[in-house]
Amino acid sequence: MEQFNGKSIFKGIAIGKILFYSKKQQQVKREKIEDNEAEIARYEAAKAKAIEQLRELCDKAAEEVGETNAAIFEVHTMMLEDEDYTDSVYNMIRKNSVNAEFAVAATGDNFSAMFTEMDDEYFKARAADIKDISDRLIRVLQGQGNTGEIGEEPVILVAEDLAPSETVQMDKSKLLAFVTRFGSSNSHTAILARTMNIPALIGVDIKKEWNGKMAVVDGKQGILLVDPDGTVLKKYEEEKKKEEEAGKLLSQLKGQTDVTVDGRHIKLYANIGSVADVANVLANDAAGIGLFRSEFLYLEKDDYPTEEEQFQVYKTVAQNMAGKKVVIRTMDIGADKQVPYFGMEHEENPAMGYRAIRICLDRVEIFKTQLRALYRASAYGSISIMFPMIISVEEVMQIKKIVEEVKAQLDSVHIAYGDVELGIMIETPAAVMISDLLAKEVDFFSIGTNDLTQYTLAIDRQNAKLDHIYDPHHPAILRMIQMVVDNAHKENCWVGICGELGADVTLIEQFIKMGVDELSVSPSFVLPVRKAIRETKYR
């Protein structure tokens, strides 16, 4: 038996045979062509075909992993249509009289290398996307079909790397786990693995000779065991069985109340990014939605979503939740969530730059469009609105003034809306320190522990090199949470936690004793957190 370490993307245990997945090698030769414009026309035809394939993939992905994750392929389409990418291909063909395959391969290598050299982890991860669209174009030019075939037997898929398009095209019922040498936790493929609940490891020193061998992927410890002996296999089979039994026990908590042993009720909500995620919220029996990341409406499109488009989305979510609370965060664009059509300038430190509420208060008409859609949708359910990245009372006063203007506009044309709670995210140390003043102006706080940890500890949470010191359990973070709760409750302002820390069952008892009123977690964590709540004593 051999053991190999990697970084876990999704926890869980998988047992099965390894399939070493090799991409079809694309032999791209440099060829001299006679008619440059005819070759460009050939390239344009291949690009149109590739875009058609991506649209089909987008529809397939939307059905299997939700519209938010399907947006990967809209991004790929935008990359194919990028002027810089296209100009590079054109220039190579025209200046060097080379074939389109060679021009695409060279452009792909150049752009991929450019992204790889960037400091920002998010942009580094985009190198794989550039490689993916270039490979797709070459396959079309060479008359090859799609990739993604893995056979009939369920397998542990081992590969150098996996492109998002390959992942989506694979039959999910045949995938037990992913193991790759390359990739990052921020890559789209990693996101898809988590969405599909498939154990996955990256950074493993893989070998082709593993093909066909029995293996175990232990996502909890981040290890791969190749050729385990009978004793080890039996141990993991028993552990996997325990996991499945624990899942069945958790399902018995559906319909149960989120109440501590001594009677304190906690609101247990779920975080979502799209309408498609509502099904998971209902399936896992969350009491409501504590964070709807509305920015994904903007990320999925190549132009600003209209008021009507936004209204229909918010209305659908509100109606599907049938009166349960839906907290919608206004767009948190910026930092690692860049939208090309916003036309924002490059920033050295975007996490602390032009983002979230700063954009909204600067581009007021875009903000008002979203607010009108939100208020109109509030007539169809229980919608609350919260605003991200707040650092001052003055920002809140500006927001409230704009909200009143929007309500007056709706009143003037006799459009109904509901009684909407307004809240803010506490994710900056500044907001923590003036939370006593902010609590006088809003109905609720939602603590975004991901950014709060990042800003408090001065650690970029996207930087994998700093993972070992990124500590959301740091005493400073826990003291800040206590301070926020105490200040909020003095003003009858309720407090929730919507960051990753809210799902940390080791802290549930502490949060409850701090006085936290609400926890909002990924849908799959609702039942484990409910179990922890029901086993906790408040006093």
What's the angle, vertex CA 328, arms to CA 368 and CA 250, rounded to 5? 170
CB-based contact 508:257 (threshold 8 Å):
no
Per DSSP, the residues of 472-503 read TT-HHHHHHHHHHHHHHHHTT-EEEE-SGGGG
Q: β-strands 289-293, 200-202: how paired? A: unpaired
3-state class (DSSP) for residue 213 = coil
Over the Cα atoms of the chain, what is R_g? 25
Instruction: Report angle CA 189, 453, 499 to the nearest 5 degrees.
Output: 60
The answer to whether 43 and 104 are in contact (CB under 8 A) is yes
d(CA 539, CA 535): 12
Query: Tokens 């707040």 identify what position?
Result: 390
Tell me which amino acid residue 190 is.
A
Task: For residue 268, give the 3-state DSSP assignment.
Answer: strand
Residues 390 and 481: their CA atoms lie apart, in Å, by: 16
Catalytic choice (76, 188, 360, 493): 188
Question: What is the spatial distance between Cα 472 and Cα 192, in angstroms, rounded to a whole number?
Answer: 25
Active-site residue among 58, 360, 493, 498?
498
273: tokens are 């990014």
Give the residue carrying structure tokens 């799959």: 524
| CA–CA gap between residue 15 and residue 227 (Å, rounded) | 11
Nearest to 193 by CA among 234, 142, 156, 143: 156
List the one residue out of 197, 281, 200 whose CA is nearest residue 247.
197
| Residue whose C-alpha is closest to residue 114's, from 92, 96, 88 | 88
**Catalytic: 188?**
yes
What is the Cα–Cα distance from 393 to 411, expressed in whole angstroms?
Answer: 27
Distance CA 94, CA 40 (A): 8
Pairing between strand 382-387 and 325-329?
Answer: parallel
- Measured at the alpha carbon of residue 437, what is the angle toward residues 433 and 438, in degrees to the nearest 5? 85
Q: Indicate which residues carry an active-site annotation.
A: 188, 498
